[in-house]
Amino acid sequence: MELHVWGTTAALTVTDPAALPAAERVLLRELAAVDAACSRFRADSEISRLHSAAGAPVRVGPVLAAALGVSLRAAQLTNGVVDPTVGNAVEALGYAVDFAAMAPDGPAPVAAPQPAPGWWRVGWDPSTSEVLLPRGVRLDLGATAKALAADRIAQQAARDGGCGVLVDLGGDVRVAGPAPDGGWRLGVADDHTAEETDLVVTLDAGGLATSGTARRRWRRGGRELHHIVDPRTGDVPDSPWRTATVAAASCVDANTASTAAIVMGAHAPVWLEQCGLPARLVDLHDRVVTTAGWGA
């Protein structure tokens, strides 16, 4: 099964064809639930209501609570290199509407980029699912929420169908349940929609995520911009990497690390080695750097 969602593609594969209808229902249900909770492009989403209530404590529903929890964990694990409080910065760069509705070119932003307020300013009590968002702070949970959706869909579909499941949400991949003989074979490329891939990897469990600057690009004031923002500057990162692909125990962890690698720049290989995460980085001159036994 394949469909278009969130300005990208969603693909679902199962090892037992009889389990496909149930897995499709899980996919559609989870995509709808995550969109209703986390989309900053919907006035009726739960996160939009949270923004409107900034300055007062709000108890959020289970899906937004899960998404907020993984985003704050990502920020903590990366020392703020991946930070959910970049909402204002992303919108200032022009990504204020669904990507499919964005103008490919336009005038320069009216204000200079500003650093994100910082994830640590978000008051979050996971025991009560209560969040206190400071006034003026806007969240962007897009990357980690998409990866979380892949994790949730694959795990639930595997439980319901009793078979192996692969979910690919725009380059965020999660497999669950028994893998097919020889494992899941996945193509890796700068563009997840490309017909030709740079290489093929085999995944038996966990997640694989590719972050890069080749997709979701636009121009403002003559500048080439893209969807990955450095929270430390509020601007697109000055990174040597065009693409970062990381394997981890979950899609959320893989996505966190691949996004962090793009933002970290030259320090990324050392950090990925220290974390023990197998990764493949491709720089702007097509040079490939691998870490932690990638390809072993």
* Complete DSSP assignment for 117-133: --GGGSEEETTTTEEEP
Determine the Cα angle at 43 with ends 155 and 70, to 5°. Answer: 35
Percentage helix, strand, coil for the chain under 3-state DSSP, each rounded to 5: 35, 25, 40
CA distance 57 to 134: 10
Backbone dihedral angles phi then psi of residue 248, each to the nearest 5 degrees: -155, 180
> What is the set of domains in the chain, with CATH numbers?
2-291 (3.10.520.10)
Per-residue pLDDT of the chain (296 residues; tens, 9 = 90+): 777 776 778 999 999 999 999 999 999 999 999 999 999 999 999 999 999 999 999 999 999 999 999 999 999 999 999 999 999 999 999 888 888 788 889 898 878 899 999 999 999 999 999 999 999 999 999 889 999 999 999 999 999 999 999 999 988 999 999 999 999 998 887 655 556 667 889 999 999 999 988 877 888 888 888 889 999 999 999 999 999 999 999 999 999 999 999 999 999 999 999 999 999 999 999 999 999 988 76
What integer pLDDT is reported at residue 254 of this predicted model? 98
What integer pLDDT is reported at residue 196 of this predicted model? 65
